[in-house]
Structure 1
Amino acid sequence: MVIAALGSELVIPEAITQIIVFMLLMKIGLTGGQAIRNSNLTEMVLPVAFAMALGILIVFIARYTLAKLPKVKTVDAIATGGLFGAVSGSTMAAALTVLDGQKIQYEAWAGALYPFMDIPALVTAIVIANIYLNKKKRSAAGESFSKQEYLSKQTVAAGDYPDQQDYPSTRQEYLSKQQSADNRVKIWPIVKESLQGSALSAMLLGIAIGILAQPESVYKSFYDPAFRGLLSILMLVMGMEAWSRLGELRKVAQWYVVYSVVAPLLHGFIAFGLGMIAHYTTGFSMGGVVVLAVIASSSSDISGPPTLRAGIPSANPSAYIGASTAIGTPIAIGVGIPLFLGLAQAIGGG
């Protein structure tokens, strides 16, 4: 961020960044896939359920906190919640690297929790936003409705309504007739778009290869040794991107700054608490608890923005992308990772 602030002309080509992200997520996917292949799947049930619940819960938190603040548009707040509920692959990669460096044990499949939090968050945000927009649209139509106006604009053929009983005589009846199938939110296209996103596609590909093939040799000779170096380059890119997004935050309400600082830590603490429940009931490791907390505190920087742009086109990208990239991600990495790691060590005595 300092380099960008000083006006450096350093540029990492987008193609290189995409390759780096692909390799990092492939490595995480391969790790998870190999672990799933060799593990007891019943151990994953509770962490997976908690990951899904967290993705949905985070969106509702934004809907009923951020959206209620002055000068914050509801649809922008919902989109922001969706982005903060979704997962940052780079933040998760950084957390796994720190855990490895501290020699803290965690389930190798912990990285596979990513899609179980990411997809529900994006789907929930888009569904809630569209329901809100449709309700707002119908409400506006109902306010301007009158039976006389409606009848004056209709050309009714003789005998169509012999008893005049089919005319919409109340606002509720009018609104119910306006609620067509086109206004209903279709969930599967959202899920499909999320799964087809570059980030999730790379991770799911890695998981599939790890489960169905035996990639240990290429994993040990190629993906694993390059992981830390590639991650360091991605952190540089993200820092420069974060600085560029700070300008966008100035265009929207200052409450986004407050939310971006508080939300990652709040989400992480909720996830840490749920992780501890899994720890005491199923033996989920303290390292796994840290991973769950970190991915909950993260906000999507790869797959989330294009998904939300397509699913909630009326939302302001300066609000949700600026809040996530400029402040949310640095907080999750710089504060969240050491905080939750230290908390786990204090509780676990390690």
Structure 2
Amino acid sequence: MVDAVPFFFALGAVASLARSGLRLPAAVFETLSIYLLLAIGLKGGVEIARSESATLWVDALLAIGLGALIPLLVFPLFRLRFSRPDAASLSAHYGSVSIVTFAVGAAVLAGRGIEVEGHLALLAALMEAPALIVATLIARWGVKSADGSSTAGALVHEVFANKSVVLLGGGILIGWIAGPQGLEPLSPLFVDLFKGALCLFLLEMGLIAADRLPDLKKAGLFLVGCALALPPLLALAGWGVAQAMGLGVGGTVLMMTLAGSASYIAAPTAMRIAVPEANPALGVAAALAVTFPFNLLLGIPLYLWWAQAMAGA
């Protein structure tokens, strides 16, 4: 069975390249993003309420550690070609996670009837911030700033009060408190309509990604190569962490997806405050125009194949 979800992204990219003029209204796109983040959070919170796992907080620490480690791994690679601020900013993009990529992976697994541990949504929320903090420390290492304290305060607020963190974390908390029975009346809205809303969101993401191609062309082949090579390599690190957590096939695929994804929402916003001298076009173009479509079309199927093959072995 071929999952239809990624093809909506492709449709948007083709429509943009063909200059069709297609575009979702800004208010609709904003509403869809709010809906998706809340729906993911609520589902994760309900599953946490159902779970009796005693390893939940150990898994949370492992996920936070992975999010903090990835920028340290990829910074030397980006430093080969880019300035310290740009390399640190790119490291933040690849250390933080893409919640939309996570949602697509969850939808693909659900379509195939593969079960996923419920607390993966919590781990996704926890993995957004550590990379942003570590990348900022890398960028600022040895650099004196007269207003460093105010910048640090603004960064902390931007990271933890970011829209995606608030909605995803708030959804998890609500779902956890309300539990399965409390959220049953909301199921038609937040469960039944989820996949359709995701398809519309990906249509617009395809349009935006195609618009970023000129920025990517200016950045050069080195960045394109990194944006293609890093997802499967980092996904292997996610696989190792998933093994330490004892996750099943579904949870392993989503942990690999999180590790191999790149942030194009939280990271650009935080880096604009923390590292203003970095070029924002580099991270957004690499994450959105290369890594995001790679994961949708090739990465998630590859991670699923790997997780199933290793589980069989």
- Taking structure 1 as reference, are residues 40 and 76 closer, same or farther at Cα in structure 2, changes over 3 Å only? same
The partner residue of 2:264 within 298, 301, 307 is 301
Inter-partner Cα distance in structure 2 for 1:129 and 1:27: 35
Query: 145, 160, 163: which one pairs with 1:198?
Result: 163
In the alignment, the residues of structure 2 paired with residue 21 and residue 73 of structure 1 have an alpha-carbon distance, to the nearest angstrom, of 33
Of 58, 74, 81, which aligns to 1:46?
Answer: 58
1:254 aligns with 2:221: yes
Q: In the alignment, is residue 221 of structure 1 matched against residue 188 of structure 2?
A: yes
Structure-2 change in CA distance of 1:314 and 1:181 (3 Å)? closer
> 1:185 Cα shift?
8.6
The partner residue of 2:133 within 118, 123, 131 is 123
> Which of structures 1 and 2 has the bigger CA Rg?
1
CA contact (8 A) 2:51 2:118 kept: no
Kept in 2: contact 1:58–1:81 (CA 8 A): yes
Q: Tell me the distance in 2 between the aligned counterparts of 1:328 and 1:68.
A: 20
Deviates further, 78-87 or 247-256:
247-256
Match of 1:85 among 83, 95, 103: 95
Aligned to 1:65: 77
Residue 188 of structure 1 deviates from its aligned partner by: 5.5
State the shift of 1:38 in Å: 2.8
Say whether the 8 Å CA contact 1:299–1:328 is kept in structure 2. yes
What residue in structure 1 maps to residue 236 of structure 2? 269
Equivalent-residue separation in structure 2 for 1:234 and 1:348 (angstroms):
33
What's the CA shift string for 1:210-267, capped at 9, x where partnerless? 1223442233121101100011111111111111111011222431111100111111
Q: Is the 8 Å Cα contact of residues 66 and 255 (structure 1) preserved in structure 2?
A: no
User: 1:98 is matched with which residue?
Assistant: 108
Give the equivalent residue in structure 2 for 1:25: 37
The answer for the alignment partner of 2:202 in structure 1 is 235
Per-residue deviation, 1:107? 0.6
Identity of aligned residues (%): 30
Q: Which amino acid aligns with 1:68?
A: L
**How large is the RMSD of aligned CA atoms in angstroms?**
2.0
Gaps of 5+ in 2: 1-12
Deviation string, structure 1 residues 276-310 (Cα, Å, up to 9, x no partner): 2222xxxx222111111101111112222111111
After alignment, is 206-215 or 114-123 more displaced? 206-215
TM-score normalized with structure 1 length: 0.80
Matching of residue 344 in structure 1 with residue 312 in structure 2: no
Residue identity in the other structure for 1:5: L
- Asked if structure 2 preserves the Cα contact closer than 8 Å seen for 1:272 and 1:289, the reply is yes
Per the alignment, residue 172 of structure 2 pairs with 207
- So what's the TM-score if we normalise by structure 2? 0.89
Report if aligned partners of 2:32, 2:201 keep a CA contact under 8 Å in 1: yes
CA shift for structure 1 position 10:
0.3
The aligned amino acid for 1:126 is T
Q: Secondary structure of 1:299's partner?
A: coil
